[in-house]
Amino acid sequence: MHLYCPLCFAEIGEDQQDAPCPVCGATPDAWRRRDYTDRLIYALRHPNPEVRMGAIISLGNRREPRAAVPLAECALAHPVDVVQALAIVEAIRNLQASPERDEALNLLASHPARVVRRAVAGKGERQG
């Protein structure tokens, strides 16, 4: 099983899971005290795309506007993962209306993938 530091994502051994991270010094107690939304936002930087997708879905369900820009930055940091980017567009659209939500959609309007830009613009949606 692979374990990662929740802050810097350095791989750590199972015997070190309760010790400070050998790379960044983060402690498990400090991580546990963080707000759950903050932890999900940190997970957007995880090297494993499945972990990122779980965070994307959870953040969309939580509907907190402060997640909007980090979600957009995640999509732009992984431009070849179009499925992830489309899930991010959907998650951002689920967020409460806010300036952060608008800023995130503006950022994604310049995504390298055309299908993502079209999703941001609201084009290509299925007709019922």
pLDDT tens per residue across span 91-125:
999 998 999 999 999 999 999 999 999 999 986 54
Query: Residues in the chain, how many?
Result: 128
Nearest to 105 by CA among 117, 115, 96: 117
Nearest to 44 by CA among 12, 98, 6: 6
Give the span between the Cα atoms of 79 and 77, in whole angstroms.
6
pLDDT at 52: 96
pLDDT at 76: 98
Q: What pLDDT digit, counting tens, does each position of 2-21 carry?
A: 778 877 888 888 777 778 88
CA distances from 117 to 55, 107, 121, 128 (A): 22, 10, 6, 22
pLDDT band at 64 (very low <50, low <70, confident <90, very high): very high
pTM of the model: 0.83
Collapsing DSSP to helix, strand or coil, 111 comes out as coil
Instruction: Report whether pLDDT(127) > 70.
Output: no
